């Protein structure tokens, strides 16, 4: 069975600081990996996805993620956080663009 | 623009009534659609998988008579919450897939049952 672990439930960073959100997955074959963001009262927005190829994936809003097969990780990074990045971030895994298993989410708070 | 349209975005209903949520793929044929539910401050959990023209497959613990799913065409799936109760209040979201690299989520529906 596929699963996703996001070890950090809540992270607080200062505006302008760098950000890394951790994600570890469990899947028997090559996974499809995603990062989604959900603002309060809003739906899901896809930040980036990994299917194959270059293990460093660039996404929207200045986010990037790196797939590390040896560590079963897909951490999300941003070099400089903006106040508008405050939201909940979900890492997710799929076996092939089918059903998606989500992590529990990491709530990001940005302080001035 | 959005490729999966979900409607309504929010709905308030009285206990005992039924509520229908629509999920439409706008510019591709969705062979499969998925319905998720998100309880407050929790992650999204898959409720069911629906394929066009066949019965939905429900995840363990999801009442199929409570949550009716119809996937009548390749662009439309509906979720009907029957005889809704306050504990059904939740955020419901659909996704549609049309094959490789075609997996998109709707914007979600916030259901509040009074």
Cβ density class B20-59: b for 16+ within 10 Å, e for less: ebbbbbeebebbbbbbbbbeeeebbebbbbbebeeebbbe
Both structure tokens of B98:
């049309």
CA distance A25 to A69: 10
Please give, rounded to a whole number of angstroms, the shortest distance from the CA of B27 to a CA of chain A.
17
B62 to chain A, any CB pair closer than 8 A? The answer is: no
Compute how many other C-beta atoms are within 10 angstroms of the C-beta atom of residue A80. 11
Q: Which of these, A111, A94, A99, A90, lies nearest to B95 by C-alpha position?
A: A99
Type and span of the H or E element at B52: none
CA distance A28 to B39: 28
Top mean-pLDDT range of A72-81, B54-63, B105-114: A72-81
Selecting from A44, A46, A97 the residue whose C-beta is nearest the C-beta of B100 gives A97
Compute how many other C-beta atoms are within 10 angstroms of the C-beta atom of residue B18. 11
The better pLDDT of the pair A1, B95 is held by B95
Between A13-27, B27-41, B63-77, the lowest mean confidence (pLDDT) is in: B27-41
A86 to chain B, any CB pair closer than 8 A? The answer is: no
Per-residue pLDDT, B84: 96
Q: What confidence tier does A97 reach under pLDDT thresholds 50, 70, 90? A: low
Please give, rounded to a whole number of angstroms, the shortest distance from the CA of A23 to a CA of chain B.
14
Mapping DSSP onto H, E and C, the string for A67-111 reads EEHHHCEEEEEECCCCHHHCEEEEEEEECCCCCEEECCCEEEEEE
Let me know if A14 is exposed, middle or buried by CB neighbors in 10 A (0-12, 13-18, 19+): exposed
Q: What confidence tier does B91 reach under pLDDT thresholds 50, 70, 90? A: very high
Contact A97 B99 (CB under 8 A): yes
Mean per-residue pLDDT of chain B: 91
- Let me know: does A4 contact A103? Beta carbons within 8 Å: yes
Interface probe for B, chosen from A97, A101, A104, A106 (most Cβ of B below 10 Å), is A97
Interface probe for B, chosen from A99, A103, A106 (most Cβ of B below 10 Å), is A99
Nearest residue of A to residue B95 by CA position? A99
Reported as a single tens digit per residue, the pLDDT across A52-96 is: 889 999 999 999 999 999 999 999 999 999 999 999 999 999 887
Compute how many other C-beta atoms are within 10 angstroms of the C-beta atom of residue A52. 8
Per-residue pLDDT, B98: 80
Per-residue pLDDT, B50: 92
A43 to chain B, any CB pair closer than 8 A? The answer is: yes
């Amino acid at each position: 069975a596929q699963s996703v672990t996001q070890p950090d439930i809540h992270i607080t960073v200062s505006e302008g600081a760098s950000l890394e959100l951790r994600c570890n997955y469990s899947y028997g074959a090559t996974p499809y990996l995603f990062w989604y963001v959900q603002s309060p009262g809003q739906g899901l927005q896809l930040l980036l996805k990994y299917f194959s190829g270059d293990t460093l994936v660039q996404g929207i809003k200045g986010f990037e993620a790196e797939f590390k097969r040896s560590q079963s990780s897909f951490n999300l990074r941003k070099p400089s956080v903006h106040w508008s990045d405050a939201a909940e971030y979900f890492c997710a895994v799929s076996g092939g663009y089918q059903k998606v298993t989500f992590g529990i989410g990491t709530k990001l708070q940005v302080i001035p | 623009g959005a490729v999966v349209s979900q409607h309504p975005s929010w709905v308030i209903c009285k206990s005992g009534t039924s509520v229908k949520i629509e999920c439409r793929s706008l510019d591709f044929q969705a062979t499969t659609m998925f319905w998720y539910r998100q309880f407050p401050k929790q992650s999204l959990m898959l409720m069911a998988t629906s394929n066009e023209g066949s019965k939905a497959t429900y995840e363990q613990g999801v009442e199929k008579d409570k949550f009716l799913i119809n996937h009548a065409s390749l662009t439309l799936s509906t979720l009907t919450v029957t005889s809704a109760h306050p504990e059904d209040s939740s955020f419901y979201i659909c996704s549609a897939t049309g094959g490789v690299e075609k997996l998109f989520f709707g914007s979600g529906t916030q259901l509040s049952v009074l």
